[in-house]
Amino acid sequence: MNPKGTEFQKQVWNILLTIPFGKTLPYLEVAQIYGNIKAVRAVAAAIGKNPILVAVLCHRVIGSDGSLVGFASGLDKKKWLLEKEGFPFQTEIPF
């Protein structure tokens, strides 16, 4: 795999590859792993530019409060994917 993107985007996407099945990380923690918590918005933007959702699994990144935010295919699909990995949700997604 060699997705097209900037070096920054590729670094962020590589972090996504380390999130194990059934686990989630908040965007802020992804930014922390990247090495710059002030870059959290840039990290979120890079995640949003992920060209291969089925290989670089960005559905595992959630809001700091545990909320489902930002998924190119829709939050309903993000919720479905996480539920299939065993992640429990106790609230419905507001639309």
* Residue numbers annotated as active site: 58
Amino acid 92 reads E
**Token pair for residue 1?**
């795999």
**Taking each helix axis from N to C terminus, what angle separates 27-34 and 7-16, rounded to the nearest 10 degrees?**
120
**Token pair for residue 89?**
């949700």
CB 43 within 8 A of CB 5: no
